[in-house]
Structure 1
């Protein structure tokens, strides 16, 4: 093994474990929001809660999926009462997707429970370390987008 790249191999290993756990957690959190929710839908809820109303096409671009995939996911969420569509005031032909009051309440309950899990698991960490991890992950995510 080339010693010049050991830290990158370690990073790859740790990210693989982290991503595997994150996928499993997303599925668990999606089911907590609603038992019939697909794991991938949890990320949609996160995005809608963070950014507010969005066009389905913008969501598809953000998540890197096709319009048909996004439409199917949104239709399932609508049927469960988690999201609703409303006319886009800027373009009468388009619609905006938003969390319903029930969807927002369910999402926030699950997110708050997840936050408490992180608080417990990282109780022996200094708050500065938690902030530094969040900063570094943000930096990694920002570079991945660019």
Structure 2
């Protein structure tokens, strides 16, 4: 067979991921506004990371989220201005600081996150628990491989 054939499995994956991501972006905006009316949608994932992993350096957050230092600094200033995060000195390095959720930030985020989980539970009520676990496992694998690829891309100086 000459030429490159169309792989229908990857076409289907691309199509379904595009729909999923479009809906996820819209939902993130809605969820962010529920945390605080002035919160931009990109900040929801940042709050989730802080809730899950605890205090983090801004550079580590930028790497995890996949944004530049300037973007992260801008987002953190906005979150600080809303009273959702605070910076504290890093005990391991006095020149650096750690970003963490304030009590208000944790309270607001936890309430919204609980409502989001309940929505997932309702939407996936007909799924077997093993199917939900398999979906989470596959998404974790996809995210890990993307993170490794991104790290390699950065280490190569952005060259492909």
- 2:100 matches 1:102: no
Q: C-alpha separation between the residues in 2 aligned to 1:135 and 1:96?
A: 30
The normalised TM-score by structure 1 is 0.95
Equivalent residue, structure 2, for 1:128: 130
CA distance in structure 2 between the partners assigned to 1:78 and 1:39 by the alignment: 16
Q: Distance in 1 between matches of 2:38 and 2:115?
A: 19
- In structure 2, the residue matched to 1:74 is 76
Q: What is the CA distance between 1:67 and its match in structure 2?
A: 1.4
Question: Structure 1 segments of 4 or more deviating over 3 A?
Answer: none
Q: Any gaps of 5 or more consecutive residues in structure 1?
A: none
Q: In 2, Cα distance between the equivalents of 1:66 and 1:145? A: 15
Residue 53 of structure 2 corresponds to residue 51 of structure 1: yes
Deviation at 1:64, TM superposition (A): 2.2
TM-superposed deviation, 1:2: 3.1
RMSD (CA atoms): 1.2
Alignment of 1:25-44 (within 5 A): 25-44=27-46
Determine the structure 2 residue equivalent to 1:2. Answer: 5
Structure 1 residue 130: Cα displacement: 0.9
What's the counterpart of residue 23 of structure 1? 25
Give the TM-score normalised by the residue count of structure 2: 0.87
What stretches of structure 2 of length at least 5 have no aligned partner? 149-160
1:87-142 CA distances to partner (integer Å, 9 max, x unpaired)? 11111111100000110111111011011111111111111111111111111111
- Structure with greater contact order relative to length (CA < 8 Å, sep ≥ 6): 1
